[in-house]
Each structure stands twice: as C-alpha cells, then as structure tokens.
Amino acid sequence: MQATRRSFLSRTLAGAVVGGALAIGLTAAPAAAEALDDILKAGVIKIAVPQDFPPFGSVGTDLKPVGYDIDVANLIAKGLGVKAELVPVSSANRIPYLQTKKVDLVISSLGKNPDREKVIDFSVAYAPFFNGIFGPADVKVEKVEDIAGMTVGVTRGSVEDLELTKVAPPTADIKRYEDNNSTISAFLSGQVKVVATGNVVAAAILARNPPKKPTVKVLIKNSPCYVGLNKDEPKLLEKVNAILTAAKADGALEKISEKWLGAPLPKDL
C-alpha cells in the first residue's frame, strides 16, 4: 500500500517534468510499481550491510566495509548493472532500515523466520550459517539442558536469541547484548560463561587467538543467510534470485565462500 502510493506519486512527479501527455500515460499504468524500476532509473541500489560481523561485514584497513555480504552486495549490483551504495547497519536495526525504505536490500547475514516473513520477503539462500552454543573447552555442555544455571551471552534480536529463548531451560541466565562485539567482549571478559552465536562469529574470535577459545557445544539452528527485501516487490525479488542462482552455477559465490569462510558452499544451499 505504502509502496504503491509512493511510486504512484513519484511517477506522477516524474511525468509532470517530462510532459503532461506522458504523465497521463504513466499514472494510468497499472499500480504494480516496482522498486526495481526506481533502482534501474537511479542507477544506484542501496544495500544494508553489517559492519560488526566479520567475516560477513567489517571495516577494512582502508576504512571501507569488506566481507562476504559486501562481495554479494557488489555481485548483485553488478548483475543489475547499477552502482552499489552500502549502508552499514547493526543486527537490531537492519529490518527497520528496510521497512523505512532507507535501503532497497538487506544483505546482512539475515536468517529467515516466520516473524520476519510477516514483514519482509526473502531471496534464495546465499551463504551457509548455523548457530550454536559455544564455550571454552573446560565448560561441559552436551545438550541445551546443560546450560541450566549458566550465564549465556547472546546478541539481542538475532536468530540465535529467538531460538535460544525458546529452547533454553528456565534457569539459564540469558544476557542480551546490543551487538556482536559486546557479546564477544562479554564472553572474553568472563561476564558470561558461554555464548549462543554463529559459526562465523566463533571463527572470528578464534582468528584473533584469544586466551579463551570458543568451541561448539550444541547446535541450535541451521539457518542459511538470505537477502531481505520489502514485500510486494516481485520483480526485484525475481532478479535477485536469478543473479544468485547464476552465481551459484558459475562458481562466483563459491569463490566468495572460500575467500571469507575458508570453506566451500554446502551442497544443500
């Protein structure tokens, strides 16, 4: 409804500039207006990317965002033949950015769940991702019930937060932090005993060779990453899916996976 009205208006305005007759023609066109048309016209696609979530997105030495998601964002922009404008977001505000049209796509290691599916649409999966409970080697956790009475750090609003909240025993003390950096800090400083987070976050902690090494204890959820789009934009969705499918077939996505995750794409992705 909102999208329809906005593009109706923009079309009317654009039409008014071009000429009266054209304006009538455009406004008379069916109201199935598309973000894709606006993007192609502008020559720029605004994409929300993470900046605190290596290897999907972080700030490189030249202060520009780098990572898996950034490479995929550029891949999609290239596929559309437009310029990518990257907008850094946090995991808590990425969906509001999309809903308020500050961005056209969210490529921010976004997992799928029914709550989110109510408010936005998803492309096909573009990256492997799983969540688990991670802890130091000397902490014994074999199943999710074992975290009873333990402090568990998690990033608020993330998929692992929603899943952990569902499956955690009631005595588990879940501490929710604003972003992944805070969750990692809480774990490394000993403020929480274990963390519920993604495979890649744990890998990123390990890459920095900390005194406390997080190892996977329990798998909570396998949740590949999808590109998030606003609802009722079938043409954009179709195009994004086509670009991703082609990238899977020609090995472009495989290369990105090897580069950032050090592993090939899973067969079932």
Partner 1 sequence: MAYSFDFSSLADYGPVLAKGVAITVELIVVGGALGVGLGIACAWAKALGPRWLRPIVSAYVELIRNTPFLIQLFFIFFGLPAIGVGLTEMQAAILAMVINLGAYACEIIRAGIEATPRGQFEAGASLAMSPIQTFRHVVLVPALQKIWPALTSQIVIVMFGSAVCSQISVEELTFAANFIQSRTFRAFESYIVATVLYLLLAVLLRQVMRGLGLFLFPRRRKTT
Which is closer to partner 1, CB of 1 or CB of 21? 1
Give least dist CB 129 to partner 1, A: 18
DSSP label of 146? G
First to last CA, the chain: 33
Contacts of 190 (CB under 8 A, 6+ apart): 212
Question: Which residues form the interface with partner 1 (CB under 8 A)?
Answer: 1-2, 5, 92, 95-96, 99, 115-116, 119, 153, 156-157, 161-162, 175-178, 182, 185-186, 189-191
How many residues does the structure list for the chain? 269
Distance between CA atoms of 108 and 73, rounded to whole angstroms?
Answer: 9
Give least dist CB 132 to partner 1, A: 20
Give a three-class secondary structure readout of 46-106.
EEEEECEECCCEEECCCCCEECHHHHHHHHHHHHHCCEEEEEEECCCCHHHHHHCCCCCEE
Which is closer to partner 1, CB of 230 or CB of 257? 230
Give least dist CB 185 to partner 1, A: 5
Give least dist CB 157 to partner 1, A: 3
Distance between CA atoms of 39 and 14, rounded to whole angstroms?
Answer: 14
Give least dist CB 174 to partner 1, A: 9
Which is closer to partner 1, CB of 120 or CB of 240? 120
Give least dist CB 238 to partner 1, A: 25
Which is closer to partner 1, CB of 77 or CB of 186? 186
**Residue 177 token pair:** 């932090």
Cα 186 to Cα 71, 120, 175, 228: the distances in Å are 30, 31, 9, 29
Distance between CA atoms of 234 and 240, rounded to whole angstroms?
Answer: 10
Which is closer to partner 1, CB of 62 or CB of 138? 138
The pair phi, psi for residue 104, each rounded to 5°, is -90, -35
Which is closer to partner 1, CB of 70 or CB of 120? 120
Which is closer to partner 1, CB of 115 or CB of 138? 115
Give least dist CB 269 to partner 1, A: 26
